[in-house]
A and B are shown apart, each in its own frame.
Chain A
Amino acid sequence: VTRSRAEEVEGLLRRLAPQVLAALARRHGQFDACEDAIQEALLAASRQWPDQGIPDKPRAWLTAVATRRLIEEIRADRARRAREDAAVEPEERHEPAPDEWQTAQSDDTLTLLFLCCHPALTPPSQIALTLRAVGGLTTRQIASAFLVPDATMAQRISRAKQTIKASGLTFDRPAETERAERLRAVRHVLYLVFNEGYTTTAGPELQRVELAEEAIRLTWMLHRLMPTDGETNGLLALMLLTHARRAARVSSDGMLIPLADQDRDLWDRRAIAEGVALVEQALATSPIGPYQLQAAIAAVHAEADSTDDTDWRQILSLYTLLIRLAPNPVFALNRAVAVAMADGAAAGLAELAAIEGDERLAGHHRVEAVRAHMLELAGDRARAASAYRAASRLSTSLPEQRYLESRAAAL
């Protein structure tokens, strides 16, 4: 079996997984049992298809195998209950024709996303379940992407499914009144997956699912399901514009490279063009929102040839708007950087002094890193070096520490 054949099978399975699961859950309810059944069908397919070839109707194949598995499980469950309870009521047989396929798939996939990101679930459970049920990843792949043991990730998934069952959540579209809020939750889960991928992996990690790419793939899917939703497009644009820098953000020896020093020829121009088009379209046609503004800021960076060439005044006004819309101390910190770049280091340091009292920033290494950068701009080398060292002690990332120590040493 060639590697490309196995990859082709995996790609196909992961595209089909949410569709088959959604259809099964819509017909039978019992989301947790359906999810188990799909996983077994996917496993069977990933063993058989690379050797035996992809069946003519792969989706029908998966549906049939998963349905058979589900029925076996339901029967076993009934038999168990019958043994436990002598006075069991006769129940109707529940055996659908496996090749029946209903459309309305896009609606189904959306319903599936809403269920996996339901606010009753904890964020780690939402993330794990979304990656498995919608992303079609195995528990082992998700565990290795998050650097946790398989048993820990399996527990998060099973807890998510138990919560769905215990809370009586069903595979139904949320009411119109809840929709905006639920969609916000879906976007947030996708954002968290992207962020995890972006901040925990530097450079290519073979044998590991790339979470940032997976988040982009799922957000493209969400975008296709609701092409005119401004914030979804803003989120997708933000991911594309950020991920476009991946080849430039780490040196060959694993050193983080700051935006100012990145070789911009390495930026992915196609991803930038896609991101810019998406965010421009969203800003022109939808109510403005935090993801669109963050994407717009990323777009200003993406379109500049260098830091000197960057329109910092525009970035500053975008941050000002962003903070008004979504107050957040990390955005405020980024805004202080924009102040320093637009109006000089002294103005930036004054802005930093005004915001750093926020207790949510207490002990955050970025506060010291920003201070160090501003002091360096101001020419205060001694205090800049000590702020870089303070930032390094507060960071929990080795590549970040290495970068901050190197800045301190260069002063």
Chain B
Amino acid sequence: MKYMLLIYDNADTRRLFFGPEGKALSEEIDALMAELTASGELIGGEALADPAQTRSIRPEDGMPVVTDGPLAETKEHFGGYLIVDCETPERATEIASRWPNARFVAMEVRPIMNVGGGQEM
């Protein structure tokens, strides 16, 4: 089963990663990525740019209208994701719990939809 692990940031996390603790945090992430690569569980992942660079598109009178900035100003924002293929949801949750952001901001684990199949009832 494939899961997306959503990584949340806040205004402090970037500073944290560039500060004196940054090296240890990066090593922690490198080690976890190496583990997921070696186990054949890692499908992919990306980090997102600062939310200041967001453009939002929302309907107005049924037409898409573009504005600068995120949909809502929040303390926590979506900062990036990993996609893993794990045998159990517990395993996906364990990986998310070990990502440093789980200690500082938040992580979410969500199953990825299977578009092609399903079981007849």
Contacts and interface: CB of A to CB of B under 8 A. Distances in A.
Interface of A: 122-125, 128, 146-149, 152-153, 155-156, 159, 198-202, 205, 245, 249, 256-259, 262, 366, 369, 373, 395-401, 403
B43 A149 contact: yes
A199 B118 contact: yes
A399 B116 contact: yes
Given A148-B43, A153-B40, A159-B39, A400 B118 contact: yes
Interface residues of B, number: 23
Interface string B58-75: 000000000000000000
8 contacts: A152-B40, A198-B117, A200-B114, A200-B116, A256-B120, A259-B120, A373-B121, A397-B114
Interface of B: 1-2, 37-44, 85, 87, 111-121
A152 B39 CA distance: 9
A152 B85 contact: yes
The residue among B2, B37, B87, B121 with the most chain A CB atoms within 10 A of its own CB is: B121
A259 B118 contact: no
The residue among B1, B40, B44, B114 with the most chain A CB atoms within 10 A of its own CB is: B40
Contacts of B117: 198-202, 397, 399
Interface of A is mostly: helix
A258 B121 contact: yes
A159 B118 contact: no
A159 B42 CA distance: 13
B40 A159 contact: yes
B121 A396 contact: no
A398 B113 contact: yes
B46 to A, nearest CB: 14
The residue among B40, B112, B114, B120 with the most chain A CB atoms within 10 A of its own CB is: B120
Contacts of A149: 43-44
Contact of A399 (B2, B40, B112, B118): B118
Contacts of B116: 200-202, 205, 398-399
Nearest to A372: B121
Q: What 3 A-B pairs have minimum CB-CB distances, sorted nearest first?
A: A156-B40, A397-B118, A400-B118
A369 B38 CA distance: 38
A389 to B, nearest CB: 15
Nearest to A373: B121
A84 B43 CA distance: 36
Nearest to B3: A396
